Structure 1
Amino acid sequence: MKGKLLSTAVLLLSAISLLTSCLGNNDEKTTYYGETAITSFKLGTLKRTIHTKNSAGKDSVYTTTIDCSGYSFYIDQINNRIYNPDSLPKGVDVGKVICTIAAKNGGVILLKDNDSDSLFYYNTSDSINFKQAREFRVMSAVNSSETATRSYLIDVNVHKEVADSFSWNNLATNNPQIAALTAMRGYALGGFVYVVGNKGAGVEVYRTAESDGATWSAVTPNIALSTEAYKNIAIQDGTAYLLNDGAIYTSSDFKTWQKGASAATIKQLLGSGTKKLYALTTTSGLAASVDKGATWIVEKLDNDAALLPTEDVSFVCRHGSAGDAVDYLTIIGNRADSYSKDSTAMVWGKVEELSAGGKTQAWTYYPIARSDRYKAQRLTNLQAVLYGNGMRAIGGSGRGASKGKAFAQVYTSEDGGLHWPKDTVVTMPTGFSSSETSFALVTDSQHRLWIICGGTGQVWKGLLSGLAWKKEDTIFQ
C-alpha cells in the first residue's frame, strides 16, 4: 500500500482543522454530530487463481479477474466489525485489494499498520493487503477542539474450498456390529445417526453421534421390534414414528417407544412432510395422516396403483423456499420380482400445498421413455436421500431387466426425480465395499452424507463443502 504515514497527534490536528475550516466565523448556529462511523465498504475487481485440469487430464493453473463489487459487506456498528458473510471464491487474491470506503459526515478514514501503531491516510487508489483482518479508524470533528474516533476491524473472507467439492472420510473399516446386519436403514435424529437392522431372526439398533461415526453403541428398545421395523420408520419434528406389528409408535431416542393408534390398513410407513405422514396401504395405495398416525386418508393417484413401488422404497421431501408454502415430495423404489421386465425404478411425485385453503394435488407417476439417457435404474436395495440441491441415490446390482452395476456410481436428480444422471460431484468412495442387500444411505443435520455398510462394517461420511460454510449474522440488535 502506498500511503502517507502520519503520527496520531498530527492526524488529530489535521482532522480537526480539515473538518472545522469550513465553519466560518459568523454567529450562525452549527450542528455537530457526536459520533462517527464507516457507512459502506465495497470491493472492486480482484485477481483469482484457478486450478483445473486440461484436456489431457493434467493439472493446470490460470489467473483471471473477478468483479467482487456484488459481494455485500455487513457493518456491525455494535461490535465495530465489517465483513462479507458470503465469502469470496477460493483462489481470489486479497493481498492487493482496491476498495471504496465511505464515512459518516465526511469523516477522515485511516488505516493502521499491521506491525506498529502507525496510521496512514486511506486513499481509494491504494492497494491494501487483506490476508489478515485490518484495523481502520475514522475521525470526525465534534467541535473546534474535539474529534470523535472509532476503530473497525475489517475482514475480507475467502473460501478455502471450492463450492462444489466433496470429500469422503472412512470412519470405520470393519465394525463388527454393522457388518453383521443383513438388512438395514439409517436415520438421523437429535444429533445422532441410528441404524436399525436385522441380525438373524432378531433386530438390532445402534447409534453414533453425528460428529463421530467410528464408535457405535447398542440401543435396547423397550418393545420387541419386528424384522420389518428397519424400513417402517419416519422422522418428523424431532420424533421418530414406527409402524410395528400393526400399530404406530413414537420415540425421541429409538429406545423408549410409546404406542399410539392401531394402523391395520397400513402396510409400510414411508416418510414425512411438514404436516403429514405417508404410507403404503394394505390395498396397494397411498395414504396420509395429519394426526400422527391416528387416522389415515387415502391419497389420490393420477395413474394405476399397480405402478407404485413396494420394495426398496425411499421417500424424499424437499421443503419450499421461504414464502413458498409447499412440500415437494418424491417416492422412488422398485416393484416386486414378479415384474421381471421392469428395468427402471418406479418414481412418483407430488406438490403438497401447505397454506390454508391450498388445493389438494394428486400423486403423479413419472413414466420413463426408452430414449431417456438418465433413467432411474432398478437397483437392488435402491436408496435415495435429499442432499444439496437435489436427491442422491445408490444401489446394488440391477434387478429384473436392469443392467445396472452394483455401486457403480452415485445418481443425482435436481428435477424432482424425472431424470437421474451420474453425479459428477458426489462420487462413490475409493475403497468402498458393502453388501448389496444391507447398507444405509443417510443425511444428518450437519449436511453430511453417510453410507453405512453391511457385510464389511465400513462407515463413510462425506461433506459437500458449500453446505458446510457458516452463515454469519447479518442483523445486529
Structure 2
Amino acid sequence: MRIKFLSVILSFLLMSIAISSCLDSDDNYELSSDATIRAFGIDTIGKGIYYKFTIDQLKREIYNVDSLPVWADTIIDKILIDTLTVTGWVTSGLADTVFIMSDSVDLREPIKLKVHAADMITTREYTIKVNVHKQDPDSLIWREMAALPVSPAAGKKKSAILKENLFVYTSSTTGYRSSISNPGTLQWSPITVSGLPADAKLNSIVSFNDLLYITTTSGEALYSDNGTSWQKMDTQGMKMVTFIAGIPADDVTGSKKILTGICSFEGKNIFCAKNIEEANWKMNEGKEAIPADFPLEDIYSTVFTNASGIKQTVIVGNTEATVEATMPWFTMDGLTWADMSTPSDFFCPVMKNPSIMYYGGLFHMMGGDFSIIRSSRVGIAWEEAATKFRYPSEKVVTPGEDEDDEETIEYKSLFEGKGDYSLAIDENHYIWIVWNSDGSVWRGRLNKLGFAIQ
C-alpha cells in the first residue's frame, strides 16, 4: 500500500515540474487562431423591436432574414452595433482602424468588418448586410391591366381562375381567356364555349379542385376541366339551384374535399354536398329549407382556419330577402351553415354584390359602391379597412370657401360607381377584378404577400 501511495505522489510531482517548466518558457505560448464572429446584433428599431441576425460562417456573411420596415433607412443611417462577440479584435475601413462599438455606423449599404485572431496572424473578413423592405408590406397596390378586347354586353358575367388561366365568360358560348402565369401582362384570346345550355347561370360558376362547376336555371349541373368544353354532372335526379363553394380537405377533422350547393326538393331549397371522390350527393339532415336570408346569387367564398386549427368555408352573396346587414355564413361540411351575425353595432352595412376574402390575416369585404373596404379579424365585427388597404384612388383637392380657409384633400376610389363586377384570387395572392361596364381589368395585391420567403 505504501509503495502504491508513494508512486501516486511521485506522479503528481513530475506533472507539477512539467507544468512549471511550460510556464517558465517564453517559447511555448500558443495563442488562439480563432477569428470568427460568434454573435452579432444592432440596436432596436421602431418601438423597441430587436431583429435577429444570421451568421453564415462559410460565406462570411451576416444578415437579417426578416427585413426591416420600409422606413428603417432613416434609422440605420446612424445606428449602434450593440452585440459583437469575437475572441480577438475587429477593424474596419480601408485603413483597418480598430472598430469601436460605441461609435454609430451607417448600415444602409453593406459594410465589411475584419476579425483579427489573438495569434496576430489569422484574419477573417465578414460582410454585414441589413435587409430593408423596399415596399410598404401593409399597402394594397393596384394596377390597371389590359382591358377585354370588346366591352361585354349588359348583364352579369363571371370571371374564374383555372390552372393559371383567367377566364371571363360573356355568354354561354363566348368568352375570353388569358394566362396569368406571368401576371405582369395579360393577352386576351377569344374562346368558343361548347356544351353550356343557353340558360347557364354564369354567376354560379365555382372553381374547385382544378375544375369549374356551373348550374342552369332549369336545374342542370355541369363541369369543365379546361374552361371551354362542358359536360353534364350526374346529380341523381336532384334539381340544382346553384353551387355555393368548394371545401378543401381538413387534416384536423379528417374530412375530404367537398363540393357544396343548393338543390330543390319537394318545392323548397335545401343544402346539398358531395365528396368529390364519391358519386352520391347528400342532403342536409331533416331536409330543412335554407334560411330565407341565405345568399342565392353571386356567391363568393373564402377559407379561414379558426383558433382550433379547423378550416371553415365562409361565403357572402346576394339574397332574395330584405336584410339590414351584409352577413357572412360559414360551414365545415356544406350541409350545415351558420350565420356570423354580431350583437354589436359593428356589423357590415348592406352591400350590393358583396365579395369576401380571408387575405393577409384578416377578412375583407368588397362591393357596394366601392368607396371603402370593410375588414374584420374573425368575420363578425366589421370596420373600415386600414388606410393602406384601399381601392386605387385619386387625390381630390377642394379649395376653401374663403382665402383664409385651408383646402381639403380627399382620396376618391377609382372603382366608385363602376357597377357590376366579378372577382377572383389566384394562388399568387393577386386579386383580379373585371368590370362589366367597360371591360376594364384591375389587379391588386398586398405587398407582403408578394415578398419571397427567406
Tell me the TM-score range normalised by the shorter chain.
0.7 to 0.9
1:169 aligns with 2:149: no
Q: Give the count of matched residue pairs.
A: 393
Once the two structures are superposed, residues 364-417 of structure 1 have per-residue CA deviations (whole angstroms, 9 ceiling, x without a partner) of 223465x734334141x3322332222333334xxxxxxxxx33332223222x
- TM-score normalised by the chain length of structure 1: 0.70
Amino acid at match of 1:419: A
1:277 aligns with 2:259: yes
Q: Distance in 2 between matches of 1:130 and 1:428?
A: 35
- Equivalent residue number for residue 409 of structure 1: 372
Once the two structures are superposed, residues 128-149 of structure 1 have per-residue CA deviations (whole angstroms, 9 ceiling, x without a partner) of 11111112233335xx5852x3
- Equivalent residue number for residue 129 of structure 2: 155
Distance 1:102 1:90, change over 3 A: same
Secondary structure of the 2:328 match is strand
Distance 1:389 1:301, change over 3 A: farther
Moved more, 92-101 or 30-39: 30-39
Q: Distance in 2 between matches of 1:316 and 1:298?
A: 22
Equivalent residues of 1:411, 1:423 under 8 A apart: yes
Q: Distance in 2 between matches of 1:448 and 1:35?
A: 50
- Equivalent residue number for residue 287 of structure 1: 272
Amino acid at match of 2:244: L
Amino acid at match of 1:290: N
Once the two structures are superposed, residues 177-214 of structure 1 have per-residue CA deviations (whole angstroms, 9 ceiling, x without a partner) of 3544632233334444332x233x64424224251355
After TM superposition, give the deviation of residue 98 of structure 1 in Å: 0.3
Q: Percent identity?
A: 22
Secondary structure of the 1:38 match is coil
- Equivalent residue number for residue 156 of structure 2: 183
Q: Distance in 1 between matches of 2:166 and 2:30?
A: 63
Distance 1:306 1:45, change over 3 A: closer
Equivalent residues of 2:299, 2:317 under 8 A apart: yes
1:392 aligns with 2:364: yes
- TM-score normalised by the chain length of structure 2: 0.73
- Equivalent residue number for residue 51 of structure 1: none
Q: Distance in 1 between matches of 2:315 and 2:275?
A: 19
Equivalent residues of 2:205, 2:215 under 8 A apart: no
After TM superposition, give the deviation of residue 233 of structure 1 in Å: 3.6
1:350 aligns with 2:322: no
1:86 aligns with 2:72: no
5 Å-filtered alignment, 1:98-177, equals: 98-103=80-85, 106-111=87-92, 113=93, 117-140=94-117, 146-147=121-122, 149-172=123-146, 175-177=148-150
Once the two structures are superposed, residues 311-359 of structure 1 have per-residue CA deviations (whole angstroms, 9 ceiling, x without a partner) of 22222112458xx6421221222322xx3x333345322357xxxxxxx
Q: Distance in 2 between matches of 1:330 and 1:301?
A: 23
Amino acid at match of 1:182: G
Distance 1:120 1:428, change over 3 A: same
RMSD across aligned C-alpha pairs, in angstroms? 3.7
Q: Distance in 1 between matches of 2:306 and 2:32?
A: 47
- Equivalent residue number for residue 189 of structure 2: 217
Equivalent residues of 2:33, 2:121 under 8 A apart: no
Amino acid at match of 2:144: N
Secondary structure of the 2:117 match is strand
Once the two structures are superposed, residues 101-141 of structure 1 have per-residue CA deviations (whole angstroms, 9 ceiling, x without a partner) of 4346x143333x3xxx4323322212111111112233335
Equivalent residues of 1:301, 1:362 under 8 A apart: no
Amino acid at match of 1:451: I
Equivalent residues of 1:261, 1:293 under 8 A apart: no
